[in-house]
């Protein structure tokens, strides 16, 4: 599952430990699975079972997929995190990404493969 995707104004580097979203100006957002009960419960609820790494990777990729589909230059939420200034509507984007993840898991869709297809 490791590799680099270019989508929604960013490079998404998928590593063994997690994922980094890197913007053209050098700002980046690293993400790794949390090792706590809340995180594990979310993985279970979204359909990832115990695979918190997969949930983490597909979450960051999900931000880019939705930004791409909506025709945005980048994910406003991830960009806000990179800049240290939260996008005021970040909760709406978070809910959309989490919903996309649950939908994709229930439908048997691999969001990394979706992102690869969209990236061309
Ligand atoms: Zn998020």
Cα gap 112→120, rounded to integer Å: 12
> DSSP readout, 3-40?
EEEEETTEEEEE-SS-EEEEETTS-EEEE----SHHHH
- Among 80, 77, 117, smallest CA distance to 98 is for 77
pLDDT band at 1 (very low <50, low <70, confident <90, very high): confident
User: Tens digit of pLDDT for each residue in 85-98?
Assistant: 999 999 999 999 99
Q: Under a CB-based contact definition with an 8 Å cutoff, are residues 21 and 97 in contact?
A: no
At 91 the pLDDT is 98
Ligand 1 center to 40 CA (angstroms): 16
Ligand 1 center to 110 CA (angstroms): 17
User: Tens digit of pLDDT for each residue in 20-74?
Assistant: 999 999 999 999 999 999 999 999 999 999 999 999 999 999 999 999 999 999 9
In the chain, domain spans: 3-119
At 120 the pLDDT is 83
Ligand 1 center to 90 CA (angstroms): 8
Q: Under a CB-based contact definition with an 8 Å cutoff, are residues 61 and 115 in contact?
A: yes
Ligand 1 center to 61 CA (angstroms): 9
């Amino acid at each position: 599952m490791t590799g680099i995707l270019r989508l929604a104004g960013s490079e998404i580097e998928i590593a063994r430990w997690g994922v980094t979203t890197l913007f053209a100006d050098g700002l980046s957002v690293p993400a790794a699975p949390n090792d706590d009960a809340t995180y594990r419960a979310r993985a279970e609820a979204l359909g990832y079972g115990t695979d918190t790494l997969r949930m983490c990777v597909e979450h960051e990729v999900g931000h880019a997929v939705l930004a791409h589909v909506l025709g945005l230059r980048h994910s406003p939420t991830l960009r806000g995190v990179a800049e240290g200034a939260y996008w005021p509507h970040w909760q709406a984007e978070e809910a959309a990404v989490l919903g996309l993840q649950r939908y994709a898991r229930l439908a048997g869709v691999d969001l990394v493969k979706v992102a690869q297809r969209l990236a061309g």
